[in-house]
Protein backbone atom coordinates (compact mmCIF):
# COMPACT_ATOMS: atom_id res chain seq x y z
CA UNK A 1 0.00 0.00 0.00
CA UNK A 2 2.98 2.33 0.48
CA UNK A 3 3.51 2.19 -3.30
CA UNK A 4 -0.06 3.32 -3.94
CA UNK A 5 0.33 5.98 -1.23
CA UNK A 6 3.38 7.44 -2.99
CA UNK A 7 1.65 7.48 -6.36
CA UNK A 8 -1.41 9.31 -5.02
CA UNK A 9 0.78 11.74 -3.13
CA UNK A 10 2.66 12.44 -6.37
CA UNK A 11 -0.65 13.24 -8.10
CA UNK A 12 -1.47 15.69 -5.33
CA UNK A 13 1.98 17.27 -5.44
CA UNK A 14 1.68 17.66 -9.19
CA UNK A 15 -1.57 19.62 -8.81
CA UNK A 16 -0.46 21.76 -5.88
CA UNK A 17 2.75 22.80 -7.64
CA UNK A 18 1.03 23.42 -10.96
CA UNK A 19 3.30 20.97 -12.77
CA UNK A 20 0.67 19.00 -14.65
CA UNK A 21 -2.54 17.06 -14.24
CA UNK A 22 -3.02 13.60 -12.73
CA UNK A 23 -3.72 10.71 -15.12
CA UNK A 24 -7.43 10.61 -14.37
CA UNK A 25 -7.95 14.02 -16.02
CA UNK A 26 -7.65 14.16 -19.81
CA UNK A 27 -5.74 17.03 -21.37
CA UNK A 28 -8.80 18.01 -23.43
CA UNK A 29 -10.75 18.65 -20.22
CA UNK A 30 -8.58 21.65 -19.34
CA UNK A 31 -8.62 23.37 -22.73
CA UNK A 32 -10.16 26.83 -22.89
CA UNK A 33 -13.09 25.52 -24.93
CA UNK A 34 -14.00 22.55 -22.73
CA UNK A 35 -12.95 23.31 -19.15
CA UNK A 36 -15.87 23.52 -16.73
CA UNK A 37 -16.17 25.67 -13.56
CA UNK A 38 -15.65 22.82 -11.04
CA UNK A 39 -12.31 21.88 -12.61
CA UNK A 40 -11.09 25.41 -13.39
CA UNK A 41 -11.80 26.45 -9.79
CA UNK A 42 -10.00 23.37 -8.52
CA UNK A 43 -6.87 23.97 -10.60
CA UNK A 44 -6.60 27.47 -9.14
CA UNK A 45 -7.65 26.72 -5.59
CA UNK A 46 -5.22 23.89 -4.82
CA UNK A 47 -2.29 26.17 -5.63
CA UNK A 48 -2.88 28.04 -2.35
CA UNK A 49 -1.36 25.04 -0.57
CA UNK A 50 2.08 25.50 -2.18
CA UNK A 51 4.60 26.96 0.22
CA UNK A 52 1.87 27.97 2.66
CA UNK A 53 3.02 29.96 5.65
CA UNK A 54 2.97 28.40 9.13
CA UNK A 55 -0.55 28.60 10.50
CA UNK A 56 -2.14 29.20 7.10
CA UNK A 57 -3.03 25.53 6.59
CA UNK A 58 -6.23 25.99 8.57
CA UNK A 59 -7.38 28.82 6.32
CA UNK A 60 -6.54 26.84 3.18
CA UNK A 61 -8.39 23.80 4.52
CA UNK A 62 -11.44 25.93 5.32
CA UNK A 63 -11.55 27.37 1.79
CA UNK A 64 -11.25 23.91 0.23
CA UNK A 65 -13.90 22.44 2.54
CA UNK A 66 -16.37 25.17 1.56
CA UNK A 67 -15.79 24.44 -2.13
CA UNK A 68 -16.22 20.68 -1.52
CA UNK A 69 -19.54 21.31 0.19
CA UNK A 70 -20.55 23.55 -2.70
CA UNK A 71 -19.76 20.81 -5.23
CA UNK A 72 -21.70 18.24 -3.26
CA UNK A 73 -24.75 20.49 -2.89
CA UNK A 74 -24.85 21.17 -6.65
CA UNK A 75 -23.65 17.87 -8.12
CA UNK A 76 -27.09 16.48 -8.91
CA UNK A 77 -27.88 19.54 -11.07
CA UNK A 78 -24.78 19.31 -13.29
CA UNK A 79 -24.70 18.12 -16.88
CA UNK A 80 -22.43 15.16 -17.68
CA UNK A 81 -19.26 17.16 -18.32
CA UNK A 82 -19.64 19.29 -15.20
CA UNK A 83 -20.56 16.28 -13.07
CA UNK A 84 -17.39 14.46 -14.15
CA UNK A 85 -15.38 17.60 -13.37
CA UNK A 86 -17.06 17.90 -9.96
CA UNK A 87 -16.21 14.26 -9.22
CA UNK A 88 -12.57 14.84 -10.18
CA UNK A 89 -12.32 18.12 -8.29
CA UNK A 90 -13.84 16.65 -5.12
CA UNK A 91 -11.36 13.77 -5.28
CA UNK A 92 -8.43 16.17 -5.72
CA UNK A 93 -9.57 18.32 -2.79
CA UNK A 94 -9.87 15.19 -0.62
CA UNK A 95 -6.32 14.13 -1.48
CA UNK A 96 -4.99 17.64 -0.87
CA UNK A 97 -6.62 17.67 2.57
CA UNK A 98 -5.12 14.28 3.40
CA UNK A 99 -1.62 14.63 1.99
CA UNK A 100 -1.02 18.35 2.62
CA UNK A 101 -3.37 19.81 5.21
CA UNK A 102 -4.01 17.05 7.78
CA UNK A 103 -0.58 15.60 8.55
CA UNK A 104 -1.87 14.14 11.81
CA UNK A 105 -4.25 11.86 9.95
CA UNK A 106 -7.84 12.09 8.62
CA UNK A 107 -10.12 14.53 10.40
CA UNK A 108 -13.90 14.09 10.80
CA UNK A 109 -14.61 16.41 7.84
CA UNK A 110 -12.42 14.32 5.55
CA UNK A 111 -14.13 11.10 6.56
CA UNK A 112 -17.52 12.64 5.81
CA UNK A 113 -16.17 14.16 2.59
CA UNK A 114 -15.16 10.72 1.33
CA UNK A 115 -18.72 9.48 1.88
CA UNK A 116 -20.00 12.45 -0.14
CA UNK A 117 -17.35 11.75 -2.78
CA UNK A 118 -18.71 8.23 -3.12
CA UNK A 119 -22.23 9.61 -3.56
CA UNK A 120 -21.02 11.88 -6.37
CA UNK A 121 -19.20 8.89 -7.90
CA UNK A 122 -22.42 6.88 -7.79
CA UNK A 123 -24.42 9.56 -9.64
CA UNK A 124 -21.62 10.00 -12.18
CA UNK A 125 -21.31 6.25 -12.74
CA UNK A 126 -25.04 5.81 -13.24
CA UNK A 127 -24.82 8.05 -16.28
CA UNK A 128 -22.58 5.48 -17.94
CA UNK A 129 -19.06 4.07 -17.49
CA UNK A 130 -18.71 2.65 -20.99
CA UNK A 131 -19.72 4.05 -24.34
CA UNK A 132 -22.02 1.94 -26.51
CA UNK A 133 -19.23 1.39 -29.04
CA UNK A 134 -16.87 0.10 -26.34
CA UNK A 135 -19.48 -2.43 -25.30
CA UNK A 136 -19.80 -3.53 -28.95
CA UNK A 137 -16.04 -3.89 -29.41
CA UNK A 138 -15.71 -1.14 -32.02
CA UNK A 139 -13.94 2.20 -31.99
CA UNK A 140 -16.02 4.87 -30.22
CA UNK A 141 -16.12 8.58 -30.91
CA UNK A 142 -13.07 10.28 -29.44
CA UNK A 143 -15.17 12.61 -27.26
CA UNK A 144 -17.31 9.75 -25.91
CA UNK A 145 -14.25 7.64 -25.12
CA UNK A 146 -12.51 10.50 -23.26
CA UNK A 147 -15.50 10.97 -20.95
CA UNK A 148 -15.95 7.23 -20.30
CA UNK A 149 -12.23 6.60 -19.75
CA UNK A 150 -11.89 9.66 -17.49
CA UNK A 151 -14.84 8.49 -15.41
CA UNK A 152 -13.33 5.03 -14.97
CA UNK A 153 -9.87 6.37 -14.13
CA UNK A 154 -11.31 8.78 -11.58
CA UNK A 155 -13.40 5.98 -10.07
CA UNK A 156 -10.37 3.68 -9.83
CA UNK A 157 -8.29 6.42 -8.22
CA UNK A 158 -11.03 7.06 -5.68
CA UNK A 159 -10.92 3.38 -4.71
CA UNK A 160 -7.14 3.58 -4.24
CA UNK A 161 -7.49 6.69 -2.10
CA UNK A 162 -10.17 5.02 0.00
CA UNK A 163 -7.82 2.08 0.52
CA UNK A 164 -5.04 4.42 1.65
CA UNK A 165 -7.39 5.92 4.23
CA UNK A 166 -8.46 2.44 5.35
CA UNK A 167 -4.83 1.37 5.73
CA UNK A 168 -4.10 4.52 7.73
CA UNK A 169 -6.89 3.54 10.14
CA UNK A 170 -5.71 -0.06 10.35
CA UNK A 171 -8.59 -1.48 8.33
CA UNK A 172 -8.40 -4.03 5.50
CA UNK A 173 -8.03 -2.87 1.94
CA UNK A 174 -10.37 -4.19 -0.72
CA UNK A 175 -10.34 -4.77 -4.47
CA UNK A 176 -13.66 -3.19 -5.41
CA UNK A 177 -15.30 -6.32 -6.78
CA UNK A 178 -18.39 -4.30 -7.71
CA UNK A 179 -16.30 -2.90 -10.59
CA UNK A 180 -16.22 -6.34 -12.20
CA UNK A 181 -16.41 -6.20 -16.00
CA UNK A 182 -15.12 -2.65 -16.45
CA UNK A 183 -12.13 -2.16 -18.78
CA UNK A 184 -8.83 -1.57 -16.98
CA UNK A 185 -7.07 1.79 -17.64
CA UNK A 186 -5.98 2.23 -21.26
CA UNK A 187 -2.34 2.48 -22.34
CA UNK A 188 -0.36 5.67 -21.81
CA UNK A 189 -0.07 6.23 -25.57
CA UNK A 190 -3.83 6.02 -26.04
CA UNK A 191 -4.66 8.22 -23.04
CA UNK A 192 -2.15 10.94 -23.87
CA UNK A 193 -3.05 11.28 -27.54
CA UNK A 194 -4.11 14.87 -28.02
CA UNK A 195 -5.01 14.74 -31.72
CA UNK A 196 -8.05 12.86 -32.96
CA UNK A 197 -6.36 11.28 -35.98
CA UNK A 198 -3.43 10.07 -33.90
CA UNK A 199 -5.80 8.64 -31.29
CA UNK A 200 -7.83 6.81 -33.95
CA UNK A 201 -4.70 5.09 -35.29
CA UNK A 202 -3.59 4.02 -31.81
CA UNK A 203 -7.10 2.85 -30.93
CA UNK A 204 -7.20 0.67 -34.04
CA UNK A 205 -3.96 -0.97 -32.86
CA UNK A 206 -5.49 -1.26 -29.40
CA UNK A 207 -8.49 -3.13 -30.84
CA UNK A 208 -6.19 -5.46 -32.75
CA UNK A 209 -4.11 -6.18 -29.63
CA UNK A 210 -7.20 -7.00 -27.59
CA UNK A 211 -9.28 -8.59 -30.32
CA UNK A 212 -10.61 -11.32 -28.01
CA UNK A 213 -11.75 -8.93 -25.29
CA UNK A 214 -10.60 -5.81 -23.48
CA UNK A 215 -8.50 -6.32 -20.35
CA UNK A 216 -10.91 -6.14 -17.44
CA UNK A 217 -10.38 -4.97 -13.90
CA UNK A 218 -11.38 -8.36 -12.49
CA UNK A 219 -8.47 -9.99 -14.35
CA UNK A 220 -6.24 -8.25 -11.82
CA UNK A 221 -7.74 -10.16 -8.93
CA UNK A 222 -5.62 -12.90 -7.34
CA UNK A 223 -4.81 -15.94 -9.51
CA UNK A 224 -4.42 -19.19 -7.55
CA UNK A 225 -1.36 -21.45 -7.64
CA UNK A 226 -3.22 -24.30 -9.32
CA UNK A 227 -3.95 -22.47 -12.55
CA UNK A 228 -6.58 -23.94 -14.82
CA UNK A 229 -6.84 -23.01 -18.50
CA UNK A 230 -8.74 -19.83 -17.68
CA UNK A 231 -6.11 -18.90 -15.12
CA UNK A 232 -3.27 -19.35 -17.59
CA UNK A 233 -5.12 -17.22 -20.12
CA UNK A 234 -5.77 -14.53 -17.47
CA UNK A 235 -2.11 -14.53 -16.46
CA UNK A 236 -1.05 -14.05 -20.08
CA UNK A 237 -3.61 -11.27 -20.47
CA UNK A 238 -2.15 -9.66 -17.36
CA UNK A 239 1.40 -9.74 -18.80
CA UNK A 240 0.20 -8.04 -21.98
CA UNK A 241 -1.52 -5.41 -19.88
CA UNK A 242 1.42 -4.50 -17.66
CA UNK A 243 4.15 -4.11 -20.32
CA UNK A 244 3.39 -0.51 -21.43
CA UNK A 245 2.28 0.58 -17.97
CA UNK A 246 1.83 4.06 -16.53
CA UNK A 247 1.60 4.33 -12.71
CA UNK A 248 -2.19 3.95 -12.59
CA UNK A 249 -1.88 0.47 -14.10
CA UNK A 250 0.98 -0.42 -11.77
CA UNK A 251 -1.17 0.57 -8.81
CA UNK A 252 -3.66 -2.14 -9.75
CA UNK A 253 -0.85 -4.67 -10.09
CA UNK A 254 0.41 -3.64 -6.64
CA UNK A 255 -2.98 -4.35 -5.07
CA UNK A 256 -3.20 -7.64 -6.94
CA UNK A 257 0.20 -8.71 -5.63
CA UNK A 258 -0.66 -7.80 -2.05
CA UNK A 259 -3.84 -9.85 -2.20
CA UNK A 260 -2.01 -12.72 -3.92
CA UNK A 261 0.77 -13.08 -1.36
CA UNK A 262 -1.73 -12.98 1.49
CA UNK A 263 -3.33 -16.18 0.07
CA UNK A 264 -6.66 -14.95 1.41
CA UNK A 265 -9.90 -13.86 -0.25
CA UNK A 266 -10.24 -10.18 -1.23
CA UNK A 267 -10.91 -8.20 1.97
CA UNK A 268 -14.49 -7.13 2.52
CA UNK A 269 -15.68 -3.56 2.89
CA UNK A 270 -18.33 -4.86 5.29
CA UNK A 271 -17.91 -4.77 9.08
CA UNK A 272 -16.36 -7.95 10.44
CA UNK A 273 -19.46 -8.77 12.46
CA UNK A 274 -21.58 -8.64 9.30
CA UNK A 275 -19.54 -10.08 6.47
CA UNK A 276 -21.30 -9.87 3.11
CA UNK A 277 -22.09 -13.29 1.66
CA UNK A 278 -21.04 -14.07 -1.89
CA UNK A 279 -23.68 -12.74 -4.23
CA UNK A 280 -24.90 -14.94 -7.08
CA UNK A 281 -23.56 -14.68 -10.61
CA UNK A 282 -25.74 -13.80 -13.60
CA UNK A 283 -25.64 -17.43 -14.69
CA UNK A 284 -26.85 -18.59 -11.25
CA UNK A 285 -29.61 -15.98 -11.29
CA UNK A 286 -30.87 -16.96 -14.74
CA UNK A 287 -30.75 -20.65 -13.79
CA UNK A 288 -33.00 -20.17 -10.74
CA UNK A 289 -36.39 -21.85 -10.90
CA UNK A 290 -37.73 -20.27 -7.69
CA UNK A 291 -39.73 -17.44 -9.25
CA UNK A 292 -41.17 -14.94 -6.76
CA UNK A 293 -42.83 -12.53 -9.20
CA UNK A 294 -46.28 -13.12 -10.72
CA UNK A 295 -46.37 -14.40 -14.34
CA UNK A 296 -47.62 -11.09 -15.74
CA UNK A 297 -44.97 -8.93 -14.06
CA UNK A 298 -42.82 -6.71 -16.30
CA UNK A 299 -39.71 -7.68 -14.32
CA UNK A 300 -38.73 -11.06 -12.98
CA UNK A 301 -37.87 -11.73 -9.34
CA UNK A 302 -36.20 -15.00 -8.38
CA UNK A 303 -34.80 -16.52 -5.20
CA UNK A 304 -31.15 -17.58 -5.26
CA UNK A 305 -30.06 -18.92 -1.88
CA UNK A 306 -30.56 -16.14 0.67
CA UNK A 307 -31.07 -13.50 -2.04
CA UNK A 308 -33.99 -12.12 -4.00
CA UNK A 309 -32.93 -10.81 -7.41
CA UNK A 310 -35.01 -8.49 -9.56
CA UNK A 311 -34.00 -8.20 -13.20
CA UNK A 312 -35.28 -7.43 -16.67
CA UNK A 313 -35.23 -4.76 -19.36
CA UNK A 314 -37.70 -2.63 -17.38
CA UNK A 315 -35.55 -2.65 -14.22
CA UNK A 316 -33.48 0.50 -13.65
CA UNK A 317 -30.61 1.46 -11.40
CA UNK A 318 -32.87 4.24 -10.18
CA UNK A 319 -34.86 1.68 -8.18
CA UNK A 320 -31.69 0.46 -6.45
CA UNK A 321 -30.66 4.03 -5.66
CA UNK A 322 -34.09 4.75 -4.17
CA UNK A 323 -33.86 1.63 -2.03
CA UNK A 324 -30.37 2.62 -0.89
CA UNK A 325 -31.54 6.17 -0.12
CA UNK A 326 -34.51 5.04 1.98
CA UNK A 327 -32.45 2.44 3.81
CA UNK A 328 -29.68 4.92 4.62
CA UNK A 329 -31.81 7.90 5.61
CA UNK A 330 -34.82 6.45 7.40
CA UNK A 331 -36.06 3.64 9.63
CA UNK A 332 -38.55 2.44 7.00
CA UNK A 333 -38.29 -1.39 6.87
CA UNK A 334 -36.91 -2.40 3.46
CA UNK A 335 -34.90 -5.35 2.11
CA UNK A 336 -31.14 -5.02 2.38
CA UNK A 337 -29.49 -4.11 -0.92
CA UNK A 338 -26.33 -6.10 -1.66
CA UNK A 339 -25.33 -5.38 -5.23
CA UNK A 340 -26.43 -4.21 -8.66
CA UNK A 341 -25.09 -5.77 -11.87
CA UNK A 342 -25.41 -4.57 -15.45
CA UNK A 343 -25.06 -7.39 -17.97
CA UNK A 344 -22.69 -5.99 -20.64
CA UNK A 345 -24.16 -7.96 -23.55
CA UNK A 346 -27.83 -7.19 -22.97
CA UNK A 347 -27.84 -4.13 -20.72
CA UNK A 348 -30.18 -5.99 -18.34
CA UNK A 349 -29.93 -4.76 -14.76
CA UNK A 350 -29.91 -7.15 -11.79
CA UNK A 351 -30.76 -5.84 -8.31
CA UNK A 352 -29.57 -8.29 -5.66
CA UNK A 353 -31.39 -7.92 -2.36
CA UNK A 354 -32.07 -9.75 0.85
CA UNK A 355 -34.70 -12.47 0.48
CA UNK A 356 -37.62 -11.84 2.85
CA UNK A 357 -39.23 -15.05 4.10
CA UNK A 358 -42.72 -13.69 4.46
CA UNK A 359 -46.13 -13.44 2.81
CA UNK A 360 -47.62 -10.54 0.93
CA UNK A 361 -50.18 -8.58 2.90
CA UNK A 362 -52.75 -9.46 0.24
CA UNK A 363 -52.28 -13.18 0.87
CA UNK A 364 -52.03 -12.90 4.66
CA UNK A 365 -54.72 -10.35 5.52
CA UNK A 366 -57.84 -12.56 5.10
CA UNK A 367 -56.39 -15.18 7.48
CA UNK A 368 -55.46 -12.75 10.25
CA UNK A 369 -57.39 -12.44 13.47
CA UNK A 370 -58.97 -9.03 14.02
CA UNK A 371 -56.70 -8.54 17.03
CA UNK A 372 -53.58 -9.04 14.87
CA UNK A 373 -54.39 -6.40 12.26
CA UNK A 374 -53.74 -3.23 14.31
CA UNK A 375 -50.10 -4.24 14.85
CA UNK A 376 -49.57 -4.34 11.08
CA UNK A 377 -51.45 -1.12 10.35
CA UNK A 378 -49.57 0.66 13.14
CA UNK A 379 -46.24 -0.40 11.60
CA UNK A 380 -47.37 0.79 8.17
CA UNK A 381 -48.51 4.13 9.57
CA UNK A 382 -45.17 4.65 11.34
CA UNK A 383 -43.24 3.70 8.20
CA UNK A 384 -45.17 6.19 6.09
CA UNK A 385 -44.68 8.96 8.63
CA UNK A 386 -40.95 8.29 8.58
CA UNK A 387 -40.90 8.11 4.78
CA UNK A 388 -42.72 11.41 4.40
CA UNK A 389 -40.19 13.11 6.67
CA UNK A 390 -37.41 12.62 4.09
CA UNK A 391 -36.67 16.10 2.84
CA UNK A 392 -36.10 16.86 -0.85
CA UNK A 393 -33.00 18.55 -2.22
CA UNK A 394 -34.90 21.84 -2.36
CA UNK A 395 -38.22 22.81 -0.72
CA UNK A 396 -40.22 22.63 -3.95
CA UNK A 397 -38.44 19.75 -5.70
CA UNK A 398 -40.61 17.13 -7.39
CA UNK A 399 -38.59 14.23 -8.78
CA UNK A 400 -36.77 11.00 -8.06
CA UNK A 401 -33.60 10.53 -6.02
CA UNK A 402 -30.48 12.26 -7.46
CA UNK A 403 -32.57 14.68 -9.54
CA UNK A 404 -33.86 11.99 -11.87
CA UNK A 405 -37.24 12.07 -13.69
CA UNK A 406 -40.43 10.83 -12.09
CA UNK A 407 -41.14 7.21 -13.06
CA UNK A 408 -44.90 7.09 -12.42
CA UNK A 409 -46.68 6.17 -15.65
CA UNK A 410 -48.53 9.51 -15.66
CA UNK A 411 -45.20 11.19 -16.47
CA UNK A 412 -43.86 8.54 -18.86
CA UNK A 413 -42.25 9.57 -22.13
CA UNK A 414 -39.96 7.42 -24.32
CA UNK A 415 -37.02 9.82 -23.92
CA UNK A 416 -37.89 11.10 -20.42
CA UNK A 417 -38.61 14.61 -21.72
CA UNK A 418 -37.95 16.92 -18.71
CA UNK A 419 -41.00 19.06 -19.49
CA UNK A 420 -43.20 15.98 -19.04
CA UNK A 421 -41.17 13.61 -16.86
CA UNK A 422 -39.41 16.14 -14.64
CA UNK A 423 -37.81 16.72 -12.31
CA UNK A 424 -39.88 19.84 -11.56
CA UNK A 425 -39.25 22.83 -9.33
CA UNK A 426 -42.90 23.81 -8.79
CA UNK A 427 -46.22 22.02 -8.43
CA UNK A 428 -47.50 24.13 -11.31
CA UNK A 429 -44.76 22.72 -13.56
CA UNK A 430 -45.68 19.18 -12.49
CA UNK A 431 -49.29 19.87 -13.45
CA UNK A 432 -48.14 21.15 -16.84
CA UNK A 433 -46.25 17.91 -17.32
CA UNK A 434 -49.48 15.97 -16.71
CA UNK A 435 -51.37 18.21 -19.15
CA UNK A 436 -48.69 17.65 -21.77
CA UNK A 437 -49.29 13.90 -21.47
CA UNK A 438 -53.05 14.41 -21.69
CA UNK A 439 -52.56 16.51 -24.83
CA UNK A 440 -51.47 13.34 -26.62
CA UNK A 441 -55.08 12.10 -26.64
CA UNK A 442 -57.45 14.89 -25.52
CA UNK A 443 -58.91 17.70 -27.67
CA UNK A 444 -58.01 21.28 -26.87
CA UNK A 445 -61.43 22.15 -25.40
CA UNK A 446 -61.14 19.28 -22.93
CA UNK A 447 -57.60 20.32 -22.00
CA UNK A 448 -58.83 23.80 -21.13
CA UNK A 449 -61.44 22.32 -18.78
CA UNK A 450 -58.90 19.93 -17.26
CA UNK A 451 -56.47 22.79 -16.66
CA UNK A 452 -59.19 24.69 -14.78
CA UNK A 453 -60.07 21.66 -12.66
CA UNK A 454 -56.45 20.86 -11.88
CA UNK A 455 -55.68 24.46 -10.93
CA UNK A 456 -58.49 24.30 -8.38
CA UNK A 457 -57.66 20.88 -6.89
CA UNK A 458 -53.97 20.07 -7.45
CA UNK A 459 -52.44 23.16 -5.88
CA UNK A 460 -50.71 24.41 -2.71
CA UNK A 461 -49.45 21.00 -1.62
CA UNK A 462 -46.33 20.08 0.29
CA UNK A 463 -43.65 17.84 -1.21
CA UNK A 464 -43.45 14.38 0.40
CA UNK A 465 -41.30 11.38 -0.32
CA UNK A 466 -43.63 8.76 -1.73
CA UNK A 467 -43.39 5.02 -2.35
CA UNK A 468 -45.82 5.43 -5.24
CA UNK A 469 -47.08 1.85 -5.47
CA UNK A 470 -48.11 0.99 -1.92
CA UNK A 471 -50.31 -1.99 -2.65
CA UNK A 472 -50.79 -5.24 -0.65
CA UNK A 473 -48.52 -7.09 -3.12
CA UNK A 474 -45.62 -4.76 -2.19
CA UNK A 475 -45.97 -5.21 1.57
CA UNK A 476 -44.38 -8.35 2.99
CA UNK A 477 -45.21 -9.58 6.49
CA UNK A 478 -43.00 -11.91 8.55
CA UNK A 479 -44.06 -13.83 11.61
CA UNK A 480 -41.44 -13.10 14.27
CA UNK A 481 -42.62 -15.29 17.14
CA UNK A 482 -44.82 -14.88 20.19
CA UNK A 483 -44.85 -12.12 22.79
CA UNK A 484 -45.20 -12.59 26.54
CA UNK A 485 -48.93 -13.06 26.18
CA UNK A 486 -48.42 -15.78 23.55
CA UNK A 487 -49.73 -13.50 20.84
CA UNK A 488 -48.24 -13.70 17.35
CA UNK A 489 -45.86 -10.85 16.47
CA UNK A 490 -45.30 -9.53 12.97
CA UNK A 491 -42.74 -7.50 11.05
CA UNK A 492 -43.66 -5.46 7.97
CA UNK A 493 -41.23 -4.91 5.06
CA UNK A 494 -42.01 -2.65 2.08
CA UNK A 495 -40.64 -3.68 -1.32
CA UNK A 496 -40.64 -2.44 -4.95
CA UNK A 497 -39.37 1.14 -4.83
CA UNK A 498 -39.37 1.48 -8.61
CA UNK A 499 -41.42 4.68 -8.92
CA UNK A 500 -40.64 6.29 -5.57
CA UNK A 501 -39.59 9.92 -5.26
CA UNK A 502 -40.80 13.31 -4.12
CA UNK A 503 -44.39 13.89 -5.21
CA UNK A 504 -47.22 16.15 -4.01
CA UNK A 505 -48.45 15.04 -0.60
CA UNK A 506 -51.67 13.52 -1.97
CA UNK A 507 -49.90 11.15 -4.42
CA UNK A 508 -49.38 8.23 -2.03
CA UNK A 509 -53.08 8.07 -1.15
CA UNK A 510 -54.23 8.38 -4.75
CA UNK A 511 -51.89 5.64 -5.98
CA UNK A 512 -52.56 3.31 -3.04
CA UNK A 513 -56.27 3.37 -3.87
CA UNK A 514 -55.92 2.56 -7.59
CA UNK A 515 -58.36 -0.26 -8.45
CA UNK A 516 -59.47 -0.14 -4.82
CA UNK A 517 -62.99 -1.23 -5.66
CA UNK A 518 -61.62 -4.74 -6.19
CA UNK A 519 -60.06 -4.77 -2.69
CA UNK A 520 -62.49 -3.10 -0.27
CA UNK A 521 -60.58 -4.41 2.77
CA UNK A 522 -57.45 -2.63 1.51
CA UNK A 523 -59.36 0.65 1.18
CA UNK A 524 -60.15 0.40 4.89
CA UNK A 525 -56.43 -0.11 5.67
CA UNK A 526 -55.38 2.84 3.51
CA UNK A 527 -57.72 5.19 5.37
CA UNK A 528 -56.23 3.98 8.66
CA UNK A 529 -52.59 4.50 7.74
CA UNK A 530 -52.65 7.77 5.79
CA UNK A 531 -54.50 11.02 5.33
CA UNK A 532 -57.44 10.98 2.89
CA UNK A 533 -57.38 13.47 -0.01
CA UNK A 534 -60.91 13.53 -1.42
CA UNK A 535 -60.89 16.10 -4.24
CA UNK A 536 -57.36 15.18 -5.30
CA UNK A 537 -58.40 11.51 -5.44
CA UNK A 538 -61.24 12.31 -7.84
CA UNK A 539 -58.99 14.45 -10.03
CA UNK A 540 -56.19 11.86 -10.28
CA UNK A 541 -58.73 9.09 -10.95
CA UNK A 542 -60.04 11.17 -13.86
CA UNK A 543 -56.53 11.72 -15.22
CA UNK A 544 -55.64 8.02 -14.96
CA UNK A 545 -58.85 6.95 -16.69
CA UNK A 546 -58.08 9.30 -19.60
CA UNK A 547 -54.48 8.12 -19.94
CA UNK A 548 -54.78 4.38 -19.36
CA UNK A 549 -58.36 3.18 -19.86
Under the banding of pLDDT at 50, 70 and 90, the label for residue 520 is confident
Under the banding of pLDDT at 50, 70 and 90, the label for residue 137 is confident
Task: Specify which of 53-62, 64-73, 298-307, 498-507 reaches the highest per-range mean pLDDT.
Answer: 498-507
pLDDT for 23-46, tens place per residue? 899 999 988 888 899 999 998 888
The mean pLDDT of the chain is 83
Bridging pattern class, strands 488-494 and 501-504:
unpaired
Q: Does the predicted model carry a pTM greater than 0.75?
A: no
Domains parsed from the chain with CATH numbers: 2-274 (no CATH), 282-354 (3.30.200.20), 359-548 (3.90.1200)
DSSP state of 443: -
Max CA separation in the chain (angstroms): 79
CB 430 within 8 A of CB 424: yes
Under the banding of pLDDT at 50, 70 and 90, the label for residue 134 is confident
What SS3 state is found at 460? Answer: coil
48-62, 158-172, 418-432: which has the minimum mean pLDDT?
48-62
Cis peptide before 371 (omega within 30 of 0): no
Under the banding of pLDDT at 50, 70 and 90, the label for residue 397 is very high
362-376, 480-494, 495-509: which has the minimum mean pLDDT?
480-494
Q: What is the pLDDT of residue 260?
A: 34
- Compute how many other C-beta atoms are within 10 angstroms of the C-beta atom of residue 31: 10
The yes-or-no verdict on residue 233 having pLDDT over 50 is no
Helix axes 108-126, 57-74, angle to 10 degrees: 30
Mention every residue, 6+ apart, whose C-beta is less than 8 A from residue 60: 48, 49, 52, 101
Under the banding of pLDDT at 50, 70 and 90, the label for residue 232 is very low
Question: Which residue has better confidence, 146 or 278?
Answer: 146
Percent of the chain, pLDDT > 70?
Answer: 82
The yes-or-no verdict on residue 174 having pLDDT over 70 is no
CB 266 within 8 A of CB 259: yes
Q: What is the pLDDT of residue 484?
A: 72
Of residues 138, 44, 147, the one with CA closest to residue 96? 44
Distance of CA 505 to the CA centre of its chain: 25
Q: What is the pLDDT of residue 15?
A: 86
d(Cα 187, Cα 208) in Å, to the nearest integer? 14
Tell me the mean pLDDT in the region 98-109.
67
Q: What is the pLDDT of residue 462?
A: 96
Of residues 108, 134, 154, the one with CA closest to residue 214? 134
d(Cα 165, Cα 237) in Å, to the nearest integer? 30
d(Cα 116, Cα 69) in Å, to the nearest integer? 9
Q: What angle do CA 523, 527, 530 make, to 5 degrees?
A: 125
Residue 45 vs residues 68, 113, 302, 377: alpha-carbon distances, Å: 11, 17, 51, 54
Amino acid sequence: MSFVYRILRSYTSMMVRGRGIPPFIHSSQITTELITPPLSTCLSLVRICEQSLPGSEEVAADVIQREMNNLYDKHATYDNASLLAAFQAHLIYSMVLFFYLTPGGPVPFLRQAVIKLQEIACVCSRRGLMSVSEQQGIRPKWEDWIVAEAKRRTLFTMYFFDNVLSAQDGFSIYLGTELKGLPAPSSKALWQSSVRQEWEKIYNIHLADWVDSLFRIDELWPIPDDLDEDGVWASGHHNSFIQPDPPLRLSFCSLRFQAFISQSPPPSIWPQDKMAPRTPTIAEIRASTEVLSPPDASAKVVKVGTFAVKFGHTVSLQEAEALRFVSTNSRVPVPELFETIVEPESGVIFIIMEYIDGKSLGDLWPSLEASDKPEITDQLHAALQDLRSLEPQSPSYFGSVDRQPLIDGIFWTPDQDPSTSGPFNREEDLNEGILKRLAETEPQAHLILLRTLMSATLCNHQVKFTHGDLQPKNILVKRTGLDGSQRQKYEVIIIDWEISGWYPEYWEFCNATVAGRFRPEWLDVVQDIMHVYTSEYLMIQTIRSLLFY
